[in-house]
Amino acid sequence: MPESLTFEENAQQARIASVRAAVETVARSGYGKLVAFLASRTRDLSAAEDAVSEAFAAALTDWPRNGIPQNPEAWLLTVARRKLIDLFRTSDRQQPASDLLENLSIPSETSSSSEIPDERLAMLFACAHPAVDAAMHAPLMLQAVLGLDATRISSAFLISPAAMAKRLVRAKDKIRQAAIPKPAAASMKNPCSSPTSSPTCFPQSPKPSASSR
């Protein structure tokens, strides 16, 4: 018969199970939000996805030891931000790491997750940008916002996983080369306010004047 587990071993297993459940919950609700926030500031969707994935992997190691943070999304974003900054510092990128650091300013880990800007809608528009092959708009959205892998996406489009993976890589390269989406700035809050606004932006409805209220 197998040896019975000690109290400490049972407690550790319970902590690991609790952490896995917490990570899965945050992944379902926040993966796309985290990727969109980082991609909108780095203009590198692949790097944003990699950083967020590494942050989730770090959570599986750190949280069983130190406990689930008060704000899991902000914790993950902090880790992903550091990984992106390290990447930009050690690679030949056009955007200086100092600029990236300023662009990636984020709420503290103890702040409300609602304070992390939700830019998934902007990410959807970026995935549907005219510079990207129209056939890749939907697959990009499924991966960037929902976090589906190439295998699951390929089954819906009746092509091989390898072919879908290559097409996704090419589409993300196009996004990076064309600097889509644009850097986070005032124009990100109202993308139609710029004279060079994208043709895919939706103008905001004019606010009613005081006399018309």
Residues with Cβ within 8 Å of 111's Cβ and at least 6 positions away in sequence, in order, are 71, 74
Question: Measuring CA to CA, how many Å separate 71 from each of 31, 41, 62, 107, 115?
Answer: 14, 22, 14, 10, 11
Q: Give the separation between CA 120 and CA 188, rounded to whole angstroms.
A: 12
Tens of pLDDT along 88-146?
Answer: 777 665 555 555 555 555 544 434 444 788 889 988 988 998 889 999 999 999 999 88
Contact at 8 Å (CB) between 132 and 175?
yes
- H or E element, residue 7: helix 7-42
Which residues lie below 8 Å from residue 181, measured CB to CB, with a gap of 6+? 39, 40, 43, 122, 123, 125, 126, 188
- Based on its alpha-carbon atoms, the radius of gyration of the chain, rounded to whole angstroms, reads 20
Angstrom distance (rounded) from CA 87 to CA 81: 10
Q: What is the pLDDT of residue 96?
A: 53
**Percent of the chain at pLDDT exceeding 90:** 38
Q: What is the pLDDT of residue 167?
A: 95
Q: Name the DSSP class of 77.
A: H
Task: Tell me the two tokens of residue 203.
Answer: 């103008």
pLDDT (mean) for 4-10: 73
Q: Is 209 exposed, middle or buried (0-12, 13-18, 19+ CB in 10 A)?
A: exposed
